[in-house]
Structure 1
């Protein structure tokens, strides 16, 4: 997958001398694996006046961050994730001009953690701080799409694993997937982590297809046609399985409750059959409030 960085470029709750909001570029390494120290990830920040909000300034900041990282012996990004739906045109242009692929994603775990910290400890201490809420960053609600017929799972099951079970995740046999350091979620070792296992004779094809998406989280759609929905990218969603009866819906909603108790941490795994010892795909996920 290469080195993934996460990017934000947006106004902050701080007014400059002209009573205009300051803007800020944030770039950081993404969380990968289970042993990374989230506090030691490379981080870059730069404030800009509203008059410099353009792709040229953003490209310059990206190149400056890469130069700073390189001087510290840190690999430059092979791609960049961003979550601001409203800023995508500017971000895509700046990244393209800097020669780095960029993809919209709600899987920006390291960045969201950093933003929460800055909103609590950095911006309130700055002169010109204004606590007025920022506008929503959410993309328009998507209509879930059905999976391609060739990728439908034959069976699926809700499962749980205690948080402690993920300590040896790096040793699991997994073909496609992604994880993050579970200890950053502040969970007790015995906390049940809910998950969804999909079984399919085309497990490898399904996992390869999912690896081309930016998996964010899965949720329960309790509407007229209840279903398990996978959220990806900035605004895409896919129907993984229907919940055609009240019993299945109740079981699914119980797993939503378990997800809430686990700080929204959960997982999705793909196997050829329930007897498999390996995973064609495995993703550790967390449903995040986007800052």
Structure 2
């Protein structure tokens, strides 16, 4: 996978001397396995609204890379971003900097950093305003069905205690991604809900999902209850239907368990129920984007 960085380029709740909002570029390394925020590279640069363009953003990216290398960090092999409103500018800047960029709601390190800055940095700056920021959510699409060739044959809701993920880096996993679970501030005994998919085409399914920037899965009630996988900036896929009130009640119980686990959950893909290896495994967290 290489080194993945996460990027945000947006206005902040701070006004300059002309009453215009300051903009900020944030770049940081993503969280993987046992890494922590304190061990990751971070870069911040404030800009006036008059300098919001792809050329300036490219310069900030290149400055961040130079600073990272000088500190002994690896440059990014690709960049994730979550603000779909800025995607044209971000894609152009990253392309000109020679770095692939992809929309993703899997920006755990960045969201942690943003939350901290909104709580401890921006309020201490001259010109701070508590006016709410505009929404960053993309228009919700209709969930798409999985390609027929990738449909799983069976699936099951499962639960593991948070402590069980301590040795996650040692598990036999083909495709997947994780983050340090202690970042979610969970007690070791906290039940972590998950979904396991069993398919004779497990490897193909896991390989396909690995290219989707998995964000989280959720339960969609309504006329046709189903399990929906959210990916990228705004894409979603139907993993399975939930026919019957008993199955829907079980699914909603797992949604409630996810809420109690600070929205942490997982998705695993195996070729059969008896297998101890995973063709794919993703530790996920449904994040409020801000």
Q: Which runs of 4+ in 1 moved over 3 A?
A: none
Secondary structure of the residue aligned to 1:86 is helix
CA RMSD of superposed structures (Å)? 0.4
Matches of 1:250 and 1:258 in 2, distance apart?
Answer: 12
Partner of 2:131: 132
Matches of 2:137 and 2:36 in 1, distance apart?
Answer: 29
**Structure 1 residues 40-72: Cα deviation after superposition (integer angstroms, max 9, x where no partner):** 210000000000000000000000000000001
**Structure 1 residues 258-284: Cα deviation after superposition (integer angstroms, max 9, x where no partner):** 000000000000000001010000000
Secondary structure of the residue aligned to 1:76 is coil
Give matches, 1:70-149, under 5 Å.
70-149=69-148
Matches of 1:265 and 1:116 in 2, distance apart?
Answer: 17
Does 1:4 pair with 2:4? yes
Q: Post-superposition shift, 1:38?
A: 1.5
TM-score, structure 1 as length reference: 0.99
Matches of 1:87 and 1:37 in 2, distance apart?
Answer: 27
Give matches, 1:153-168, under 5 Å.
153-168=152-167
Equivalent pairs counted in the alignment come to: 290
Partner of 1:199: 198
Matches of 1:224 and 1:104 in 2, distance apart?
Answer: 30
Matches of 1:170 and 1:12 in 2, distance apart?
Answer: 37
Give matches, 1:1-291, under 5 Å.
1-33=1-33, 35-291=34-290
TM-score, structure 2 as length reference: 1.00
Gaps of 5+ in 2: none
Secondary structure of the residue aligned to 2:167 is helix
Matches of 1:85 and 1:250 in 2, distance apart?
Answer: 34
**Structure 1 residues 152-182: Cα deviation after superposition (integer angstroms, max 9, x where no partner):** 0000000000000000001100000000000
Secondary structure of the residue aligned to 1:256 is helix
**Structure 1 residues 6-50: Cα deviation after superposition (integer angstroms, max 9, x where no partner):** 0000000000000000000000000011x2122221000000000
Matches of 2:36 and 2:203 in 1, distance apart?
Answer: 31
Secondary structure of the residue aligned to 1:124 is helix
Matches of 1:243 and 1:161 in 2, distance apart?
Answer: 22
Gaps of 5+ in 1: none
**Structure 1 residues 124-172: Cα deviation after superposition (integer angstroms, max 9, x where no partner):** 0000000000000000011100000000000000000000000000110
Matches of 1:251 and 1:142 in 2, distance apart?
Answer: 25
Matches of 2:162 and 2:285 in 1, distance apart?
Answer: 13
Matches of 2:234 and 2:215 in 1, distance apart?
Answer: 10
Secondary structure of the residue aligned to 1:118 is helix
Matches of 2:141 and 2:220 in 1, distance apart?
Answer: 12
Matches of 1:164 and 1:270 in 2, distance apart?
Answer: 21
Matches of 2:274 and 2:36 in 1, distance apart?
Answer: 34
